[in-house]
Chains A and B, each alone.
Chain A
Amino acid sequence: MSYNWNWSIFFEPSLDGTHTYLTTLLWGAGWTLATAFAAFAIALSLGSVVGVARTAPQAWVRALSTCFVEVLRNVPLLVQMFLWYFVLPELLPDELGTWLKQLPDAQFYTAVVCLGCYHAARMAEVVRAGLQSLPGGQRMAGQALGLNLAQTYRYVLLPMAYRIVVPAITSEFLSCTKNTSVALAIGLMELTGSARAMQENSFQIFEAFSAATTLYLALNLIIIFAMRRVERLAVVPGYGTPQKAA
C-alpha cells in the first residue's frame, strides 16, 4: 500500500481557509455532542411518557403508545431522517413548510427531533420492561394507600423501574450518540461529516477517520463513566444481588 502519511494535516487550513482541519473536526464533535444530548433528552422524557402509557390501565392509551413504538422503531433511521427533513415540510401548510426550510440550522433541529423520537420509541420499551419487572403488588400497595394512578407511578413504580434499567439506558445513550452520524445524510456537519469532508479535501483518509474514531471513543467513554456513577447512586440497599461490574 502506498500511502502518504501526514499527521501534520490537522494543523493545515481546511477548505474554509480560516480554520485548521483540527478545528473543523472539533466543531464536528461539538455538533455531535449537542445533537446527542438534545436528542437523548427528548428520548428520555418522551420515552418515559410512552413507556408508562404502554402499561396504563386504559386500552386505548396502550394501543396509541404501541403504535408510536412500532412505527418509530421499525422504520430505518436513515429513512426517518429523510422523511423528517425532505417530506415533512412539503406535507405542512405552505407557510409553515417554508419557515421550516429556512430555519437556520434546520439540519440540527431535524436531526434532534428525528433521533429523539426514534430513541424515545426504544426507550419506551426499556421503561416498560422496568415497570413490568416490578411485582404487581407494588401498584396495589401504592393505590391501597390512597395514591392516585399518577402518584403511584411517580413515587412508587418509576423510581424502582428506572433503577433496574440504568444499564439499558446507558446502552441507549451510547446508541443515540453513535446514531447522530446518520444526520450526515441531511447535511449536518457533525463528526463523521467533518471527517469525510477532510478526507475529500485532503485525501488523508486514515488521519481523518483515526481522529473521528478517537473522538467518538472519547465521547462514549465519558458517557460510560458518567452512567457508572449514576448506576452507583441508583443502588438500593438490600435489593437484588450486589453485582461486581468490571
Chain B
Amino acid sequence: MITLRDVCKAYGQFQVLSHCSTHVAKGEVVVVCGPSGSGKSTLIKTVNGLEPVNAGEIIIDGVSVTARGTNLSTLRARVGMVFQHFELFPHLSIIQNLMLAQVKVLKRTRPQAHKKGMALLDRVGLVAQAHKFPGQLSGGQQQRVAIARALAMDPVALLFDEPTSALDPEMINEVLDVMIELAREGMTMMVVTHEMGFARKVANRVIFMDRGEIVEDAEKNAFFDQPRSERAQQFLSKILVH
C-alpha cells in the first residue's frame, strides 16, 4: 500500500532523512517511534508529499508521490492525515469541518456530505457537538473530530503524526480507543507515536528511527522483546521504565 525507497531529505547541510526504506502492506498498522529530532514526523509528512524529498521514491497504492506530474491534491485526498495539534478549521463548525473537503474535493452534494459527516461523528461519539466550533471542544474531542474528518474522505490509508502528544493525559485514551478500533477494522495505518501500549496492542510492525535513519524495522514482538540495535534498546529502556 505504502512503499518508501531510499528516501533522503536535507535542510542545507543537515540530513533529516537518509536512505529510509520501508513498506506498509494493506491492513497493516506500523508504529514509527524514536527520540525527538529523529526525523519521524518528517518521514510521515513525506508520505503524502507535505514535505518534499531530495531523493528516493514513495509509492501509495500504485501512485508515485515523488514523480513529477503527479496530482498531489488528488493523491492526498485518498490518504488521511491526523496532526499533533488537530488542525481543525476554527471558523467552521464541527460538521462543516467534516463536509468541506467532501464537497470541494470529492464533489459530493451537501446532503451526502452531511449524512456521511454525521455518521462519522456518531462513530467517534460526538454527534451532540456537530454544531459547535473547534474552540469549544476539549483536545481529545478535537482530535476525534480530526480523525472523523480524515475518514470522511474514505481514505485508503491513514497517517498519524503524534496524535496524542498534545493531549492532557486523561484524554489520550479516548483518542487511542478510536484508533484501536480502526486498526481492528483493517485500516492501513502509519502512526508516529510514543504510546508503546498502543503499539503493543495493535501494531504489526514497529519502525525505530534515530538521526534520520530507520535503525530498526521489526515485527512488534521481536522489537519489544529483543531489539537488535543498541540505540533501540536504550530508547525502550528510557520510555518503558514507568
Docked pose: A146 CA to B136 CA in angstroms: 26
Q: Are B48 and A155 in contact (CB under 8 A)?
A: no
With an 8 A cutoff between CB atoms, is B77 at the interface? yes
Closest to B93 in A: A237
With both beta carbons as reference points, the residue of chain B lying nearest to A157 in the complex is identified as: B89
Given A135-B85, A140-B50, A163-B91, answer yes or no on A145-B134 (Cβ-Cβ < 8 Å). Answer: no
Given contacts A145-B76, A163-B91, A237-B136, 6 further A-B contacts (CB under 8 A): A137-B84, A141-B88, A143-B50, A146-B74, A155-B104, A239-B135
Q: Which residues of B contact A146 (CB under 8 A)?
A: 73-74, 76-78, 101, 105-106, 153
Chain B contacts for A156, CB-based, 8 A: 89, 100
Bound-state Cα–Cα, A163 to B105, Å:
25
Q: A-B pairs with the 7 shortest C-beta distances?
A: A238-B135, A146-B77, A141-B87, A145-B101, A238-B136, A144-B81, A146-B105
Q: How far is the CB of B153 from chain A (nearest CB, A)?
A: 7
B108 within 8 A of A: no
Which residues 95-128 of B sit at the A interface, judged by CB distance below 8 A?
100-101, 104-106
A180 to chain B, nearest CB (A): 33
| Chain A interface, number of residues (Cβ within 8 angstroms) | 23
Set of chain A residues within 8 Å of B85, measured between Cβ atoms: 135, 137
A window 131-169: CB within 8 A of B:
135, 137-138, 140-148, 151, 155-156, 159-160, 163
- Which of B79, B91, B104, B136 is close to A160, meaning CB atoms less than 8 Å apart? B91
What is the CA–CA distance of A151 and B107 in the complex, to the nearest angstrom?
A: 13
Judged by a CB distance under 8 angstroms, whether B205 is at the interface is: no
User: Given B80, B91, B104, which contacts A236 in the complex, CB threshold below 8 Å?
Assistant: B91
CA distance A84 to B135 in the complex (A): 48
Contact B149 A145 (CB under 8 A): yes
A236-B135, A238-B133 given; A145·B83 CB < 8 A: no
Contact pick for B87, options A138, A151, A238, A239, CB 8 Å? A138
B26 contacts the other chain (Cβ, under 8 Å)?
A: no
B132, CB-defined interface residue at 8 Å: yes
Q: Chain B's nearest CB lies how many Å from the CB of A131?
A: 14
B90 on the A face (CB < 8 A) = yes
Main secondary structure of the interface of A (DSSP, over half): helix
Closest B residue to A160 by beta carbon equals B91
B133 to chain A: which residues have CB within 8 Å?
236-239
The smallest C-beta distance from B131 to any residue of chain A, in angstroms, reads 10
Fill in one digit per residue for A76-119: 1 if any B CB lies within 8 Å of its CB, else 0: 00000000000000000000000000000000000000000000
Are the C-beta atoms of B77 and A145 separated by less than 8 Å? yes
Measured between C-beta atoms, what is the minimum distance from B78 to chain A in Å? 8
Min distance, Cβ A229 to any Cβ of chain B, angstroms: 18
A-B contact count (CB 8 A): 87
Query: Chain A interface (Cβ within 8 Å of chain B)?
Result: 135, 137-138, 140-148, 151, 155-156, 159-160, 163, 236-240
Residues of B within 8 A of A144 (CB): 48, 50, 76, 79-81, 83
Contact residues in A for B149 (Cβ distance below 8 Å) = 145
Residues of A within 8 A of B50 (CB): 140, 143-144
Most B-side CB within 10 Å, residue of A143, A145, A160, A237? A145
Neighbouring B residues of A135 by C-beta, 8 Å: 85, 87
Beta-carbon contacts under 8 Å, B130-182 to A: 132-137, 149-150, 153
A-B contact pairs, 7 of them (CB 8 A): A138-B87, A143-B73, A144-B83, A145-B101, A155-B100, A238-B137, A239-B90
Are the CB atoms of A151 and B136 closer together than 8 Å? no
Separation of A142 and B81 alpha carbons in the complex (Å): 10
Inter-chain contacts of A151 with B (CB < 8 A): 104-105
A237 CA to B106 CA, complexed, in Å: 28
Point out the residues of chain B lying under 8 angstroms from A239, CB to CB.
90-91, 133-135
A148 to B90, CA, bound (A): 19
What's the Cα separation between A156 and B105 when bound, in Å? Answer: 13
A237 to B90, CA, bound (A): 8
A135 and B89 CA atoms in complex are apart in Å by: 11
Assess whether B135 is in contact with A148, with CB atoms less than 8 Å apart: no
Residues of the B chain whose Cβ atoms lie less than 8 Å from the Cβ of A137: 83-85, 87
Q: Which of B161-211 contact A (CB under 8 A)?
A: none
Residues of B within 8 A of A147 (CB): 73, 100-101, 104-105
- Cβ contact within 8 Å between B90 and A141: no
Greatest chain A CB density within 10 A among B73, B136, B150 is at B73
